[in-house]
Amino acid sequence: MALILFWVFTGILAYVYVCYPLVVRVCASLAGREVRRGHVRPTITVVISAYNEEKGILAKIDNVLALDYPQDLLDVIVVSDACCDSTDDLVKACGLPRVRLLRLEGRLGKTACQKLAVTQAGGEVVVFTDATTIVERHALVELAENFADPEVGCVAGSLV
């Protein structure tokens, strides 16, 4: 019985990590199409989920505000997941009107932070990022250009 269970679970793992990705690639190559990219600049709200990020939150905000994207089309929401360090104070003290702090009480997790931020976001596009992730200068322009295609509803980046 143990041998049967071993091979069943090995088969499931092989399907998940090998077979399924291959099936998706084959289907995409047969039925997929290139995304039509163009010069599109929607308003963007960048959402930063944070829990006790006092060491890096200001660098993260600086990173987002330094991106090559029209500054009048960009705003930032930092969502504090009941931070108990000085993260909230640092965000408030930065004094930038395009940077807002939302605070959740009770440590509800990243998903709850993102859901709250979406209800408050003013941008046509919402970009989620973590406080510890550095975004490349051209990333928002690259992301936005995909929305020139009316069939695109979501774009994902690649963590390198």
Place of tokens 């071993």: 6
CATH assignment at residue 103: 3.90.550.10
Decide: 53 and 131 in contact? Cβ < 8 Å.
yes
pLDDT of amino acid 17: 92
Same domain, 10 and 65: no
38 domain residue, yes or no? no
Per-residue pLDDT tens over the stretch 73-95: 999 999 999 999 999 999 999 88
Same domain, 86 and 19: no
Same domain, 130 and 93: yes
In angstroms, rounded to a whole number, what is the distance separating the alpha carbons of residues 116 and 105? 12
Same domain, 144 and 65: yes
pLDDT of amino acid 84: 94
Tell me the average pLDDT across 17-26: 91
Tell me the average pLDDT across 18-30: 89
Per-residue pLDDT tens over the stretch 99-148: 999 999 988 999 999 999 999 999 999 999 999 999 999 999 999 999 99
Range of the domain at 94: 44-148
